[in-house]
Chain A
Amino acid sequence: MNTWVILGAIVALVLMRLRKPSMLTWAAAWWVAMFAIVRYGFTVPVPISVVKLYMGLITAGLVAYVLTDEERIEQVCQPVLAFMTQKRFQLPLLATMLAIPALFAWSIYAGMTRDPQAPAFARTVHPAPPDEITVHDNTVSIGTADNPYRALEETDPEAFGARLANGREVYYANCFYCHGDIMAGEGMYAHALNPIPTSFQDPGTIAMLREAFLFWRIAKGAPGLPEEGGPWASAMPAWESFLTEEEMWNVVLFLYEFTGHRPRAVEEHH
């Protein structure tokens, strides 16, 4: 977070509160302060789509607040009416009237002259898996299958440890170039990809999924992504061509072990 921007906005609002400004000034100041925080208050900039969403909500909130009370409406309308009707504001009014279309013109000019960009897109993080897949002549039901070696965690910790060790080897021999040494999606090849690989450290990724889902993604890669929700942008190879089924289940175990997440359990029907 950009602490100085946030502190600056808060201090400005507090100072303004002490000066007891008109409702119009107060509402405008809140809007500007919120815009400053949303747009410039984060070290990693917030995408424009979210800025628009948040500012829309803030605008709706301020409008609702002003319109709730007759006195507040009066306080907002009076200066606007005075600005539009009183003689002393003729010049600023003229300037405003010229500035509004000029602003639009500038906005269009800026839009037309900037460097071409790839269109923004919504990435679907969790594609819907098929009901079942066939890997090395073996059919795996994605909806119901569990990791065949997960039970070893309780019944035979030593064997489970051996599987984890194998999963580690497989990961660092094949996966870490893109997914990174700490699985944060920052491997050495990651930034050659667009979009970059998802961070498994993030609690919104593998922690939300069952192990069979990960097995499907590893085995079938980008070529196995479903038609729905496409077009997909993924460089994930179909690892079934290079790894055994056992190695893929082992690497799934390792992904959860390393990140500390637990796989999603099967929901019970009530």
Chain B
Amino acid sequence: MSQKRPGVLLIGLGVLAFLAVIVGAWRLAVTIDDTMAFRAPTRSAPAVAETESGAADQGWTPREQALADEAAAQAEADRTKPYVEAEYRAVPRIGSRVAIWVVAQLHLLFAAFVLAVPMFAVVVEAIGLKTGDKRYDDLAYEFTKLLSVSFSLTATLGAGLTFMLIALYPKFTNYLMSVFSPTFLPYVLLFFAEAAFLYTYYYGWGKFGPKLHLFLGIMLNVVGTGIMFIANAWLTFMSTPSGVSENGALISTWDAVSNYTWMPINIHRIIANLAFGGSIAAAYAAYKFLSAKTQAERAHYDWMGYIGNFVAMCGLLPLPFAGYWLAKEIYAFSQTMGLTMMGGAFSWLFIIQAVLIGNLFLFANWYLWLAMGRIEGAARFKGYIWPLLVIVIACFAVWATPRSIIASTEEIQAMGGSSHPILGFLGVMSAKNTAVNIIILATFVSFLLYRRSNIIKTTARGAGIVKILQGLLILASAAIVIGYGIRGYFVDAATRIGFSVPQVSSVLFCMLFVTMLDAYLTRGAQATKTQWGRIRPISQYVLILLAVTFTWMMGLMGYLRSGLRLHWHVYGVIRDTSPDAFTPTLGYATKVVSSTVLIFFLMIGFVFWLAGLSGKKVGAEEEEQADAVANSTLGFGPAGAPATASASNTATASAASPPPGNRP
């Protein structure tokens, strides 16, 4: 009791002190006019009407008169204030540009995810429908679970972006609306249709006939793509305007829509969305894998992560080619813009992009090599990993070598210029094209080895010859790519750019035919089962790294596409006269992009968490059952390693097929 007394005393003193401060402050406030020398005696300022009758009649002090005059002047100013349309409004501290930048980027990232997931969910569902394997249907459902909350966030961010554009850039937004107003109604209708298809697709799972459900999914994709095409018209018009006069007057809405970069961006975004969406879905699976409590869960999420990554790689491989087309159209629209991008102020962004793309390929290959660990027969391919790694790193190095090197004065003098006499040859398009094609081939070979890992014996006729043919196709493709790469140094620019077509074609042709031959080889082959869930946890971190790298790159390239306009809202037509009409430094831009990526992952983490909750109530029983199975027969520890050899064998049989996911 005695210990409590000082505490009570202190609280009492605190309350008293607080009251004393309040009373003191109040007294000071009411007596301030009396106590301060420069203030006149207390009397409230007269109303406006009183001032008109004259100060002398009222017997006002000079201060009262001044206050009355001020009030009258203010009232008159308010009454006659003219309407002036604001051009810009500012956001405190960060500025309007950064505010719009962050919200637009977040909106685009979520939109990309929402557009991508239905693409592969429908394909996975279709596979399930064709094969009758329920696991595919469950997987498609698990992917779709991520959509509901993401769609709401996309819409919310989109609405936020629209309001911010209207509030912060009213004049420019008004101009865009005047050009694109005919596209707004279709956009809104498509948006409603997307919401309808999405929710019927998600909530109608298992409640409609399978074909009708698949149709809903296909329509969701069609409508989503339509929305993206319309939105792409707005943003590409800003960079490469057409259909308007020199002064910005609208001549043709269709020409404004189908500007130079509209279709390249459409194609580029469809492919990039697929890669990005696949990687985010794989990151979700990785998160679930790492937090899984049972072997059954691990097996399921290992499979899901693999499929997500497979989708991401399918998108990543053709992405550079779509990028080349986009860059070519930018050059065709304006050499100035092309040079700003590749040789001028933004050229250093491509070195960062090269490092990120190189990382994507390195991580993709690394994941496949790690994934071989879940296949018993994969040990025989271990020897291929080192040469493949050397090829990937060498191509990565070529891809990332800058043409104009950051160097000290001494280094520049020693080189005789800003490019190195030998490494400078790696900094031009011939070398870059060659490197990216070879790295794609190497990744394809890694995938081929992974596919082959569980084949013990082939039953196909002429298997030996087919394998030799596959090897020759890969070597021939590599030779064509390298041959054209070397030849590119000795021809003019237009011919050199044209060389990318046979280079790309040979790689695509090779991948197509080798895959077809591989399908022939593996058909009916004797194979070991894939032990899903028996993959090292580090592989899941690789999946998360892939998703982060994809997001980072999207943010960076989004900035590049938008920043290329320099001090123009609409390039060459509507000039940016706001205080932000300058190109930020590379360091500043990357900080904004990185902050956006961080915010995105916090938000997508929330989506993952909610998606996890949606299956919890019903899934609890299944979880308990799975736990019981795991503890009694599988004996797998938390790290996923088998406790005993015999337990491992049992696990192999059980985990070889992925289990169905939980459903609400």
User: Does B408 have its Cβ within 8 Å of any Cβ on chain A?
Assistant: yes
Tell me if A98 counts as interface (CB < 8 A to partner B): no
CB of A118 within 8 A of CB of B366, answer no
Identify which of A69, A125, A262 contacts B404 (C-beta below 8 A): A125
Closest to A58 in B: B393
Chain A contacts of B408 at CB under 8 A?
A: 47-48, 117-120
Q: Mark B399-418, 1 if CB is under 8 A from A, else 0.
A: 01111111111111111111
- Identify which of residues 152-208 in chain A touch chain B, using a CB-to-CB cut-off of 8 Å: 185-186, 191, 194-196, 198-199, 202-204, 207-208
Tell yes or no: B397 within 8 A of A by CB.
yes
Contact B405 A124 (CB under 8 A): no
Cβ contact within 8 Å between B389 and A203: no
Interface pair B393/A124, CB less than 8 Å apart? no
Does the CB pair A120–B344 fall under 8 Å?
no
Q: Is the CB of A117 within 8 A of B409?
A: yes
Check B422–A47 contact: CB distance below 8 A: no
User: In the complex, how many angstroms separate the beta carbon of A37 from the nearest chain B beta carbon?
Assistant: 12
Residue among A121, A186, A196, A228 making CB contact with B340, cutoff 8 Å: A228
Which residues of A lie under 8 Å from residue B335 when comparing CB positions? 129, 142-143, 210, 212-213
A162 to chain B, nearest CB (A): 24
Which of A4-12, A59-67, A81-89, A243-251 lies at the binding interface?
A59-67
Closest-by-CB residue of B relative to A1 is: B422
Interface flag for B396 (CB, 8 Å): yes
Q: Given A58-B393, A262-B493, is A228 in contact with B566 using a C-beta cutoff of 8 Å?
A: yes
Docked CA distance A69–B383 (Å): 12
Kindly state the interface size class of chain B when it binds its partner.
35 or more
Q: Are A128 and B340 in contact (CB under 8 A)?
A: yes
Q: Does the CB pair B339–A127 fall under 8 Å?
A: yes
Instruction: Tell me if B178 counts as interface (CB < 8 A to partner A).
Output: no
State whether the Cβ of B646 lies closer than 8 Å to any Cβ in chain A.
no
Does A77 belong to the interface (CB within 8 Å)?
Answer: no
Give Cα distance in the complex from A130 to B328, angstroms. 19
Q: B298-331 interface mask toward A, CB cutoff 8 Å, 1 = contact, 0 = none?
A: 0000000000000000000000000000001101
What is the minimal beta-carbon distance from B406 to any residue of chain A, in angstroms? 4
0/1 interface trace, chain A 10-53, chain B, CB 8 Å (1 if under): 00000000000000000000000000000000101111111001
Nearest A residue to B396 via CB reads: A57
Chain A CB within 8 A of B336 CB: yes
| B468 proximal to A (CB < 8 A) | no
The answer to whether B401 and A50 have CB atoms under 8 Å apart is yes
Contact mask for chain B residues 568-595; partner A; CB cutoff 8 A; 1 contact, 0 none: 0000100000000001000000000000
A61 adjacent to B336 (CB under 8 Å) = no
Interface membership of A270, Cβ < 8 A: yes
Overall SS of chain A's interface: loop
Q: A128 near B366 (CB under 8 angstroms)? A: no
With contacts A58-B393, A61-B393, A68-B369 taken as known, whether A120 is within 8 angstroms of B347 at the C-beta atoms is no
A100 to B403 Cα, complex, angstroms? 36
Interface flags, A254-270, vs B, CB<8A=1, else 0: 00000001111111111
Q: Which residues of the other chain, B, contact A46 by a CB distance below 8 angstroms?
A: 420, 423
A70–B334 alpha-carbon span in the complex (Å)? 53
Decide: B343 and A208 in contact? CB cutoff 8 A.
yes
A119 to B411, CA, bound (A): 11
Task: Determine if A195 and B417 form an interchain contact, defined as CB atoms under 8 angstroms apart.
Answer: yes
CB distance from A142 to the nearest CB of B (A): 7
Q: Provide the residues of chain A in CB contact with B493, threshold 8 Å.
A: 207-208, 262-265
Which residues of chain B in 414-430 are interfacial with respect to chain A, using CB atoms and an 8 Å cutoff?
414-424, 427-428
Cβ-based interface call for B508 (8 A): no
Which of the residues A124, A125, A143, A262 comes within 8 Å of B336, measured between beta carbons? A143
The residue from B334, B340, B392, B402 contacting A61, defined by CB atoms under 8 A apart: B392
Select B344's contact among A44, A67, A117, A124, beta carbons within 8 Å. A124
Q: What residues of A have a CB within 8 angstroms of the CB of B423 in the complex?
A: 42, 46, 50
Inter-subunit contact A128/B419 (CB<8 Å): no
Chain B residues in 8 Å Cβ range of A269: 260, 329, 332-333
A243 to B403 Cα, complex, angstroms: 32
A142 close to B336 (CB less than 8 A): yes
* A50/B405 in contact, CB under 8 A: yes
Residue of B nearest to A45 (CB): B414
Q: Does residue A137 face the partner (Cβ distance < 8 Å to B)?
A: no
Tell me which residues across on chain A come within 8 A of B334, comparing CB atoms: 131, 143
Q: A204 and B403: CB pair below 8 A? A: yes
Q: In the assembled complex, which residues on chain B have CB atoms less than 8 Å from the CB atom of A194? A: 409, 412-413
Instruction: Find the A residue at minimum CB distance from B583.
Output: A228
Closest-CB distance, B641 to chain A (whole angstroms): 9
Chain A min CB distance to B635 (Å): 19
> Across the interface, which residues of A come within 8 angstroms of B427, CB to CB?
204
Tell me the A residues contacting B by CB distance below 8 Å. 1, 42, 44-50, 53-54, 57-58, 60-61, 64-65, 67-70, 117-131, 142-143, 185-186, 191, 194-196, 198-199, 202-204, 207-208, 210, 212-213, 226, 228-229, 261-270
Q: Interface residues, chain B, CB within 8 Å of chain A?
A: 260, 328-329, 331-337, 339-340, 342-345, 347-348, 355, 358-359, 362, 366, 369-370, 373, 382, 385-386, 389-390, 392-393, 396-397, 400-424, 427-428, 489, 491-494, 497, 536, 538, 566, 572, 583
Q: What are 22 A-B residue pairs whose CB atoms fall within 8 Å in the complex?
A: A47-B406, A47-B407, A57-B358, A60-B393, A61-B392, A120-B407, A123-B412, A124-B345, A124-B347, A128-B340, A130-B336, A131-B572, A142-B335, A143-B334, A194-B413, A204-B419, A208-B343, A208-B493, A263-B492, A263-B493, A265-B494, A267-B328
6 interchain residue pairs of minimum CB distance: A126-B343, A262-B492, A267-B332, A128-B340, A229-B345, A123-B418
Contacts A120-B411, A123-B404 aside, 7 further interface pairs with beta carbons under 8 A come to A60-B362, A61-B393, A70-B373, A125-B419, A126-B342, A129-B339, A196-B413
